[in-house]
Structure 1
Amino acid sequence: MATKQNNAIYDLYDKPPFFTWLGLSLQHLFSMFGATVLVPLLVGLNPGVALFTSGVGTLLHLLITRGKVPAYMGSSFAFIIPMASLMKTIGYPAVAQGIISVGLVYLIVAFIITFTGTAWIDAIFPAEVVGPIIMVIGLSLASSAASSATTVNGKYDWKIFVVALITLLATIAFNMFLRGFLGLLPILLGIIFGYVVALLFGLVDLSPIAAAHWFQLPDYETFIGKDGFKFYPAAILSMAPLALVTLSEHLGHLMVLSKITGHDFFANPGLKRTLTGDGTASVVAGLIGGPAVTSYGENIGVMQLSRVYSVWVIGGAAFFAITFSFIGKLSALISTIPGAVTGGVGFMLYGVIAAAGLQVIVDNKVDYSQKRNLMIAAPILVVGIGDFHLQLGAQVNFSGVAIATLLGIVLNLILPKIAASEK
């Protein structure tokens, strides 16, 4: 799936020196924090629980994959609509049952793969499909980054634009000109620099930090309501099908990780273990009050930029997430990072994912003078980036990325190797 690369500063099993380890792990935490706590805020769940379950889910994923996949598990955006609807009409017990059902879908697919194997992966995901899909995963997030970097509460603000641009340029500068320990932390330094600039522009509200307690216990909930257990089949029917969306994203993220790290994760530890890890993380999240979780593109972008692929660093970020979920003021501090800063850094993080897809195409010498390759890449890119999505009712929504992935698979399987006009 991927060729071995020797450009890693810290490879998969390398354990950095202690203080370097802390800095690198904090960099991952800061990169994913905003998105992870945004989901529960939009849905009506407790952000502290979401942070806790992201850390626990990541550690479980590392354990189940035998410490072989540097993937961070954060709150999934794919389930926002049904979760928000269920929270409003029924409450968390229904949401929890839906989240647990999503995790069970992953576990069932992993069980099937145990018997069918994964040889089919290479057949349906050649370079001419993988490259464009990876590009779509990064570029489909571009509009989200641009919105964060230009608007606040839906209104355009030139100060947001300036802070985002300064944050982006600072992150680029830190990447290009810093050496040694600081050279490993360009994203973290970019966020800190952007935060200071945002303070100077008056874009940061510090009141949540003052109001937060130093120690606070996350508000855990379960699938059992106050009046006892009730079964909610509608919750399962509205959320379980969306696992097909996140399954395709799981495959895409695993492709990106395999490419940038030079380790074939489809072969070792295997798709059955990565799916089991992801599914188990969601089941546990549903049991204690968190949202469904999935691997995060932000953290993949951090690895691509820093060339640090160590599972020790990912594990350290998970430890910090769990710890910070109990320290109210630290959680509040990170939650005050404005969208201008996360958007500015997002331009870099999402862009390097897209560049990794381009590198797949270049390395495998995909020939776009052949019509077949063009007919596969063109719709994948436009459908995915344009978010040509399928919505079934008010709750089921298949994203453009998922549709693009399925379309690429189908086209690769049915199109002839040579177009009739080229014979």
Structure 2
Amino acid sequence: MKKTVESEQAIYNLYDRPPLLPFIGLSLQHLFSMFGATILVPLLVGLDPAVALFASGVGTLIHLLTTHGRVPAYMGSSFAFIIPMVSMMKTVGYSAVGQGVVSVGLCYLVIALIVAKAGTAWIDKIFPPEVVGPVIMVIGLSLAQTAAQSGTEINGQYDMRAFIVAGVTLLVTIFCNFYLKGFLGLIPVLLGIIFGYICALLFGLVDFSPVMQADWFSLPHFDFFFAGSAKHAAHFYPMAMLTMMPLVLVTLSEHLGHLLVLKKVTGHDFFKDPGLSKTLAGDGLASVFAGLVGGPALTSYGENIGVMQLSRVFSVWVIAGAAVFASIFAFIGKLAALIRSVPGAVTGGVGLMLYGVIAAAGIQVMVDNRIDYGKKRNLLIAGPVLVVGIGNFHLQLLSEVDFSGVAIATLLGIILNLILPKESK
């Protein structure tokens, strides 16, 4: 394997393989961090969460293989396609959704081919530090409201119990990360989730009945090659593809943003090694697989990047371990039900830390590159980007195509950087 730029503060770098006990703990930490969001998408759409979990695990392994094991990115269910998927599930079934998901993956593969031919020199031109910093901040802070709502509300109503549980989860995560050493110091997020879960139990926020009712072995409801829905006959749905394919622009901006965050966190330039074409192809193949087995489209997850930033563990082996655990847990009914029983107050408490850590990485980009906000140009780029992204100033077309505030903010930053003169008058 190629050597990477070593991060001075890293406990385990990209290609380091931790010993067995830390390896298991660190992998489970990543699994718990992405689990809530990954199963929330299929629950909203009407898909089997176990299939989504399995698809995310195998999709992550596919991404790792495609990138030659050089990118520590976990592939989870994408929220960008929820609206069209919900609409198609109600009217047609998974045959249309699956074809749309596969078309999303194929779009990525086409873009990857173009990038492989055209190169990546354009990235430095459209993503200088004065754009990268605010965009990374937006990626983290755009999720702040979600974390805050999960940590203060139960069934849409403010609940002091949720506030206390989320607060305990957050404080324990901070304490463990700052004070604990050795193995326990490597898994602050997992420890925060465990203590938060115990606190939620004491407040009666955990429903154990699904765990007791679940079987030890449970086969996910796979929908292979779109044949399990629409009266068990797979038809061709071109409108499904035309509806979902434009949203690739949204996830593409997320993809670039996450690579920029990973570059900052790990000290390794993934745009050059293994190359943007490889990372895009990995995303594409992961979504193609998900669509063929009955899952939603996949994308890299900021939650897992936050875990890496917090734990200083960047090992691709740990990401692979989380993917293997996810694939196995999809077939173990009681384990999957136990993880699903983690209340939103706990995941919200963890999110208060993880999303903030991502935003802080954006600030660090600007500090390291000495971006001068006394200059009008830099101020006029960062200001709109932050407000548009954090406020979710989104663009909705035809009631099914919704470009998120993060995507609009990224595009706005690129355009402003290209049209504003370097020296303001």
- TM-score bracket, normalised by the shorter chain, equals over 0.9
* Matched-pair contact (CA < 8 Å) for 1:14–1:310: yes
Query: What is the aligned partner in structure 1 of residue 118 from structure 2?
Result: 116
Amino acid at match of 1:37: I
What are the superposed Cα offsets for residues 326-352 of structure 1, whole Å, 9 maximum, x if unpaired?
Answer: 000000000000000000000000000
Instruction: Report matched runs for 1:235-384 at 5 Å.
Output: 235-384=240-389
- Displacement of 1:178: 0.5
Q: How many residues align?
A: 419
Give the whole-Å Cα distance in 2 for the aligned partners of 1:255 and 1:271.
11
- Displacement of 1:3: 7.5
Give the whole-Å Cα distance in 1 for the aligned partners of 2:386 and 2:88.
33
SS at 2:408 equivalent: helix
Give the whole-Å Cα distance in 2 for the aligned partners of 1:362 and 1:412.
19
Amino acid at match of 2:284: G
Amino acid at match of 1:63: L
* Matched-pair contact (CA < 8 Å) for 1:3–1:259: no
Asked if 1:162 is matched to 2:167, the reply is: no
- Displacement of 1:4: 5.4
Query: What is the aligned partner in structure 1 of residue 201 from structure 2?
Result: 199
What are the superposed Cα offsets for residues 145-201 of structure 1, whole Å, 9 maximum, x if unpaired?
Answer: 011011111111111111111111111111111100000000000000000000000
Give the whole-Å Cα distance in 2 for the aligned partners of 1:277 and 1:80.
21
- Displacement of 1:223: 1.9
Give the whole-Å Cα distance in 2 for the aligned partners of 1:227 and 1:116.
43
Give the whole-Å Cα distance in 1 for the aligned partners of 2:149 and 2:365.
29
- Displacement of 1:114: 1.2
- Displacement of 1:229: 2.7
Query: What is the aligned partner in structure 2 of residue 387 from structure 1?
Result: 392
Q: Which runs of 5+ in 1 are unaligned?
A: none
Residue 227 to residue 192, structure 1, CA distance change in 2 (3 Å):
closer
Amino acid at match of 2:238: P
* Matched-pair contact (CA < 8 Å) for 1:34–1:335: yes
Amino acid at match of 1:147: Q
What are the superposed Cα offsets for residues 30-71 of structure 1, whole Å, 9 maximum, x if unpaired?
Answer: 000111011000100000000000000000000000000000
Query: What is the aligned partner in structure 1 of residue 79 from structure 2?
Result: 77
Amino acid at match of 1:229: A
SS at 2:233 equivalent: coil
Instruction: Report matched runs for 1:60-75 at 5 Å.
Output: 60-75=62-77
Give the whole-Å Cα distance in 2 for the aligned partners of 1:191 and 1:232.
42
Amino acid at match of 2:111: V
Amino acid at match of 2:324: F
SS at 1:181 equivalent: helix
Query: What is the aligned partner in structure 1 of residue 142 from structure 2?
Result: 140
Give the whole-Å Cα distance in 1 for the aligned partners of 2:338 and 2:411.
40
SS at 1:134 equivalent: helix
Query: What is the aligned partner in structure 1 of residue 409 from structure 2?
Result: 404
TM-score by length of 1: 0.98
TM-score by length of 2: 0.97
SS at 2:182 equivalent: coil
Give the whole-Å Cα distance in 2 for the aligned partners of 1:318 and 1:294.
14
Amino acid at match of 1:22: I
Residue 417 to residue 402, structure 1, CA distance change in 2 (3 Å):
same
Give the whole-Å Cα distance in 1 for the aligned partners of 2:22 and 2:112.
36
Query: What is the aligned partner in structure 1 of residue 421 from structure 2?
Result: 416
Give the whole-Å Cα distance in 2 for the aligned partners of 1:4 and 1:355.
21
- Displacement of 1:319: 0.3
Asked if 1:21 is matched to 2:23, the reply is: yes
Instruction: Report matched runs for 1:84-99 at 5 Å.
Output: 84-99=86-101
Residue 89 to residue 16, structure 1, CA distance change in 2 (3 Å):
same
What are the superposed Cα offsets for residues 103-146 of structure 1, whole Å, 9 maximum, x if unpaired?
Answer: 11100100111110000001110000000000000000000001
Query: What is the aligned partner in structure 2 of residue 174 from structure 1?
Result: 176
What are the superposed Cα offsets for residues 59-87 of structure 1, whole Å, 9 maximum, x if unpaired?
Answer: 00000000000000000011111111100
* Matched-pair contact (CA < 8 Å) for 2:6–2:13: no
- Displacement of 1:228: 2.7
Asked if 1:103 is matched to 2:105, the reply is: yes
Give the whole-Å Cα distance in 2 for the aligned partners of 1:87 and 1:174.
43
Give the whole-Å Cα distance in 1 for the aligned partners of 2:203 and 2:154.
14
* Matched-pair contact (CA < 8 Å) for 2:45–2:86: yes
Query: What is the aligned partner in structure 2 of residue 208 from structure 1?
Result: 210
Identify which of 41, 44, 48 aligns with 1:42.
44
Q: Which runs of 5+ in 2 are unaligned?
A: none
* Matched-pair contact (CA < 8 Å) for 1:29–1:317: yes
Give the whole-Å Cα distance in 2 for the aligned partners of 1:49 and 1:11.
31
Query: What is the aligned partner in structure 1 of residue 226 from structure 2?
Result: 223
- The worse-fitting range, judged by mean Cα deviation, of 53-62 and 147-156 is 147-156
Residue 12 to residue 409, structure 1, CA distance change in 2 (3 Å):
same
SS at 1:194 equivalent: helix
Give the whole-Å Cα distance in 2 for the aligned partners of 1:237 and 1:268.
33
- Displacement of 1:5: 2.6
SS at 2:31 equivalent: helix
- Displacement of 1:266: 0.3
Give the whole-Å Cα distance in 2 for the aligned partners of 1:92 and 1:411.
40
